[in-house]
Amino acid sequence: MTDRIYLDWNATAPLRPDAREAMLAALAAVGNPSSVHAEGRAARRLIEEARAKVAALVGAEPRNVVFTSGGTEANVLALSPSPRIRKLLVSAVEHPSVLAGGRFPAGAVERVPVTADGRIDLAALRGRLAASAESVMVSLMLANNETGVVQPVSEAAALVHAAGGLLHVDAVQAAGRIPCDVNALGADLVTVSGHKLGAPKGIGALIRRDAALDLADPLIRGGGQERGQRAGTENVAGIAGFGAAAAAALAGLSAARARLAKLRDRLEAGLAAASPEVVVLGAGAERVPNTTLFATAGIKAETAIIALDLAGVAVSSGAACSSGKVQPSHVLAAMGVPPELAQGAIRVSLGPSTAESEVDGFIAAWINVSQALLKVRRGIAA
């Protein structure tokens, strides 16, 4: 079997060697981290060391990190009403776990439109905040999972705080790829997911900027783990892997960011040279350096992805996929992308170990696949 080309890092990143090593060491630790004996204290030490590393990734204090099962759980924990906050505003391009509103009632959730380049309409946000008779929470992702577009989070934070509200930032696709300092962003709450960084699947975190900010009632009640914010014996191995991956991502951030930007430019230049009709979606806005979402009129993404997979290349559709069923992309619909173009959107996402040869291999595979699909389409039309 020939080597495959994996270009779907936004879906999940391969496990980092550092994370694997940390997990194996943690799996050998027998103690329950809530126990007071030496074995328990050793397990607790692994958790707290990882907590400090995850906190450093976003410039937060370790005590403000609550470990969860992943980004979705962290989002739901964050998006919870309180006596002061009874309304939630979300951008129209958020992850489904945010669009669902967490624990806010459906009638208390409103979507804020985005511009054609996929960035939140700050004027619309300002208007919604001014029109609200009550304090609100706003949830705005830092980087979009489909287009890679970076949102104007610090500008939004200024508007939200001036209106007496709170800002939650889903940084799942941004952490480890661009700087994500909670203080620079002005985010009150930040969500991070381990498996996007090269940690194992099934571990994430909700992080507060200020310890004085009280979280809502826990989603999982029971013991006093995670300072009373999430009951249940901690996933020590997953947390240890998360910490190691976070430290490695932070240490290599600057170099990886520059290298990935060059690879993405190489990819997009190759696509343009091979297929002048290719449209890169969100290209007019700032994007994370590893993501390209493109489409060609007349080519359906679902068919192209299967053909690419058979050619040994793993990429994703710009549409949401659940249980193998491809649905129209709410992100592209919110951006006003015509349906005939949106249905062909293909996402290529790179990672620290992606090589130039893999990018070139994808371009070659795309040329073959797209030409074959367009030929079939023209034959059908004839």
Do the strands 65-68 and 204-208 form a parallel or antiparallel pair, or are they unpaired?
Answer: antiparallel
374 residue type, one letter = L
Cα separations in angstroms, 332 against 115, 158, 215, 319: 11, 27, 33, 8
Exposure class string for 30-61: b at 16+ Cβ within 10 A, else e: ebebeeeeeebebbbebbebbbbbbbbbbbbb
Q: E-assigned strands of 302-356?
A: 313-314, 316-317, 320-322, 325-327, 346-349
Which of 293, 294, 301 is closest to 344 using CA atoms? 301
C-alpha torsion sign, points 125, 128, 133, 136: negative
Structure tokens at 160: 């939200």
Do the strands 5-6 and 313-314 form a parallel or antiparallel pair, or are they unpaired?
Answer: parallel
Catalytic one of 116, 269, 321, 355: 321
User: Known catalytic residue: 321?
Assistant: yes
Catalytic positions are 321
